[in-house]
Amino acid sequence: MTAPADLVIAHGTVANADGRRRAHVVVDGGRITALLDAAEPVPPARQVIDAAGLLVIPGGVDGHCHVAQTTGPYTTLDDYALTSTAALWGGTTTIMDFGIPRDASETPLQAARHKLELARQARCDVALHASVIDWDETVPAQLQELADLGIRSVKLYMTNRGTTMADNDTVLQVMRQMAALDGLTWIHAEHDAIIADCTAEHAGRGQTGIEHLHLTRPELAEEASVREVLAMAEYTGAPVYFVHQSTPGAVDLVTEARVNGLAAYSETCPHYVALDDTVYSGPVPEWFACCPPMRSAETAAALRERLLGGAVHAVASDHSCYDLTQKRLHTEDIRQMPHGLPGVETRLPVAFTEMVGPDLAGIERLVEVFAAGPARINALPGKGAVAEGCDADLVILDPAEERTVDGAGLHMGTDFSPFHGRSLRGWPQMVVAGGRVVLDDGGFHDPGPAGRFLEQAGFGEALAWPGQGGSRQAAGAATGQDGE
Ligand SMILES: [Zn+2]
């Protein structure tokens, strides 16, 4: 007779990116050991959770979080213990942060090592992206060493002159190097010269306040930068991933590139789909200080169409935890404000509310952009699916339950939420991370610093995992067809 399993989640509707079924999820030793048809008897276990009538989805993978990040004069307010705790409250069981050099004296490798040290306090699993600001002859060896550490993606900023911006020479060289390392280049695409000029022009008219933010960073600036980067990706043959795309035009450029055989991917964020630029004429425009800014309602609606239609590969939070004291220091001058929104905890409910309709229509797409896509594109084995052999990272929720966001009552290291007051569905009732129940109706059960650092596999290698299309080329072609 076999020993009882650690945990069985019985009778739930298990939704993955490729379909849903009623099943018992058997968990043992931190992994999912079986998925049994719900008509079968519930196998013996030390703990059985009855999920009848509830939805069971894979724990989220948030590929884009900034933890304890210093940019210029500002540092975000949450550390790894706080960010990862808030992530778990929101159904995200893996976060990815960035080793971004804090100033010119810090190398990419030093920045990543600093984050590796901080990440030892994480309550959920963590992976890292590196970041390069200036190219020099030491960078190739650093990128190799980072890859050996399991850090195989590098973020580059096309804007933020004077802090994190990389010039085009650097972008080109890093792309070439990352392609050779079977890694992925991440891009923040906004055309710096257009933004600088547009911001200066508005400043000349006295329009520097937060209520003008969206006017200083036009959609054209984002799309011009995407075009430029795609040309460099084509030239170097490097896979490329665009963070926080905020316009349908930007997403369409990436779709078109993919149809033409490039390995190019789109990420968007909950706020670009759920909010629009009328927030800047509202009572608290400083809640929405981020770059790119919120776009017109028409643009947000068209972006949502792209998301629902399959042209977007990941919904990430771009979590940046400033508080209102920091946000309000310079509301009269957007050039001096800290930009970025807290969101690691609200990513699931906002995306769920936007994407999942009656009778769970759209749930597979939600799981794809919330967990499966980010796990695959970032080459994180064992993540993003409720399947035998995967890590036991699970979210159980009642798809009909609505809650109103209370910005001050969330668990991030800040005092507001851009979604305050909104009624959302998709809140986790129970969260299992690495086989441990960390959230249930008794509240949060702090597992301590149980989060592991996850090494990224190779980018092309991950696309060849079973069910992923067989090869980079095939996967590129397959994803090219599902877009607009
Ligand atoms: Zn970011």
CATH number at residue 140: 3.20.20.140
Cα(411) to ligand 1 centroid in Å equals: 20
Name the pLDDT band for 1 (thresholds 50, 70, 90): low
- 169 within a domain of the structure (yes/no): yes
Q: Can you tell me the distance from the alpha carbon of 432 to that of 438, in angstroms, rounded to the nearest whole number?
A: 6
Q: Can you tell me the distance from the alpha carbon of 86 to that of 444, in angstroms, rounded to the nearest whole number?
A: 10
pLDDT of residue 79: 96
Cα(381) to ligand 1 centroid in Å equals: 23
Q: Can you tell me the distance from the alpha carbon of 396 to that of 48, in angstroms, rounded to the nearest whole number?
A: 13
Cα(73) to ligand 1 centroid in Å equals: 17
Place of tokens 């590098």: 154
Cα(257) to ligand 1 centroid in Å equals: 23
Cα(65) to ligand 1 centroid in Å equals: 7
pLDDT (tens digit, 9 = 90+) per residue, 231-259? 999 999 999 999 999 999 999 999 999 99
For the chain, give the percent of residues with pLDDT over 70: 96
- 28 within a domain of the structure (yes/no): no
pLDDT of residue 72: 82
Cα(482) to ligand 1 centroid in Å equals: 26
Name the pLDDT band for 462 (thresholds 50, 70, 90): confident
Cα(463) to ligand 1 centroid in Å equals: 24
Cα(316) to ligand 1 centroid in Å equals: 9
Cα(115) to ligand 1 centroid in Å equals: 15
pLDDT of residue 483: 31
Contact 334/81 with Cβ under 8 angstroms? Answer: no
Cα(317) to ligand 1 centroid in Å equals: 8
Q: Which of 385, 364, 373 is closest to 59 using CA atoms?
A: 385
Span 384-388, average pLDDT: 97
- 268 within a domain of the structure (yes/no): yes
> Which amino acid is it at 205?
R
Q: Which two tokens stand for residue 342?
A: 């807290």
Cα(242) to ligand 1 centroid in Å equals: 11
pLDDT (tens digit, 9 = 90+) per residue, 44-95? 999 999 999 999 999 999 999 999 998 888 999 999 999 999 999 999 999 9
Q: Which two tokens stand for residue 146?
A: 């980072």
Cα(134) to ligand 1 centroid in Å equals: 18
Cα(155) to ligand 1 centroid in Å equals: 9
pLDDT of 474 over the 60 cut: no
Half-sphere exposure of 437 (CA within 13 A, CB side): 15
Cα(52) to ligand 1 centroid in Å equals: 38
Cα(85) to ligand 1 centroid in Å equals: 19
Cα(326) to ligand 1 centroid in Å equals: 17
For the chain, give the percent of residues with pLDDT over 90: 92
pLDDT (tens digit, 9 = 90+) per residue, 202-225? 999 999 999 999 999 999 999 999
Task: Look at strands 55-58 and 436-440 and give their pairing.
Answer: unpaired
Cα(318) to ligand 1 centroid in Å equals: 5
Cα(314) to ligand 1 centroid in Å equals: 14
Domain that holds residue 241: 59-385+460-481
Q: Can you tell me the distance from the alpha carbon of 8 to that of 24, in angstroms, rounded to the nearest whole number?
A: 7
Cα(188) to ligand 1 centroid in Å equals: 8
Q: Could you tell me which residues come within 8 angstroms of residue 226 by beta carbon, excluding any fewer than 6 positions away? A: 189, 242, 245, 250, 253, 254
Cα(387) to ligand 1 centroid in Å equals: 30
Q: Which two tokens stand for residue 112?
A: 């990543």
Cα(460) to ligand 1 centroid in Å equals: 24
Residues in the chain, how many? 484
Q: Can you tell me the distance from the alpha carbon of 455 to that of 147, in angstroms, rounded to the nearest whole number?
A: 9
Q: Can you tell me the distance from the alpha carbon of 126 to that of 228, in angstroms, rounded to the nearest whole number?
A: 31
Q: Which of 377, 468, 471 is closest to 185 using CA atoms?
A: 377
Mean pLDDT of the chain: 94
Cα(33) to ligand 1 centroid in Å equals: 35
- 19 within a domain of the structure (yes/no): no
Cα(354) to ligand 1 centroid in Å equals: 21
Cα(466) to ligand 1 centroid in Å equals: 30
Cα(10) to ligand 1 centroid in Å equals: 38
pLDDT of residue 466: 60
pLDDT of residue 463: 78
pLDDT (tens digit, 9 = 90+) per residue, 112-163? 999 999 999 999 999 999 999 999 999 999 999 999 999 999 999 999 998 8
- 22 within a domain of the structure (yes/no): no
pLDDT of 482 over the 90 cut: no
Burial class for 58, CB neighbours closer than 10 Å (0-12, 13-18, 19+): buried
Ion ligand 1: residues, CB < 5 A: 318
Q: Report the domain count for the chain.
A: 1
Q: Any bridge partners for residue 70, and if so which?
A: 75
Q: Could you tell me which residues come within 8 angstroms of residue 265 by beta carbon, excluding any fewer than 6 positions away? A: 239, 240, 241, 242, 254, 258, 313, 314, 377
- 380 within a domain of the structure (yes/no): yes
Cα(66) to ligand 1 centroid in Å equals: 6
Q: Which two tokens stand for residue 339?
A: 């930009």
- 349 within a domain of the structure (yes/no): yes
pLDDT of 441 over the 70 cut: yes
Cα(90) to ligand 1 centroid in Å equals: 19
- 133 within a domain of the structure (yes/no): yes
Span 174-195, average pLDDT: 98
Cα(368) to ligand 1 centroid in Å equals: 20
Please report how the helices 297-309 and 347-355 are oriented relative to each other, as an axis angle in degrees rounded to 10: 80
pLDDT of residue 455: 98
pLDDT of residue 87: 98
Higher pLDDT, 469 or 353: 353
Q: Can you tell me the distance from the alpha carbon of 120 to that of 95, in angstroms, rounded to the nearest whole number?
A: 13
pLDDT (tens digit, 9 = 90+) per residue, 297-334? 999 999 999 999 999 999 999 999 999 999 999 999 99
| Cβ atoms < 10 Å from Cβ of 467 | 11
What is residue 1's three-state secondary structure?
coil
Cα(64) to ligand 1 centroid in Å equals: 6
Cα(377) to ligand 1 centroid in Å equals: 17
Place of tokens 């600093």: 114
Cα(483) to ligand 1 centroid in Å equals: 24
What is residue 282's three-state secondary structure?
coil
Place of tokens 């316009």: 247
Cα(127) to ligand 1 centroid in Å equals: 15
Hey, CA dihedral for 80, 59, 315, 187, is it positive or negative?
positive
Q: Could you tell me which residues come within 8 angstroms of residue 350 by beta carbon, excluding any fewer than 6 positions away? A: 270, 271, 273, 274, 343, 419, 422, 424
**CA angle, corner 45, sides to 39 and 47, nearest 5?**
105
Say whether the peptide bond before residue 358 is cis (omega within 30 degrees of 0).
Answer: no
Cα(216) to ligand 1 centroid in Å equals: 19
Question: DSSP readout, 93-138?
Answer: EEEEEEE--SSTTS-HHHHHHHHHHHGGG-SSEEEEEEE-SS--TT
Q: Which of 325, 350, 414 is closest to 82 using CA atoms?
A: 414
Cα(29) to ligand 1 centroid in Å equals: 34
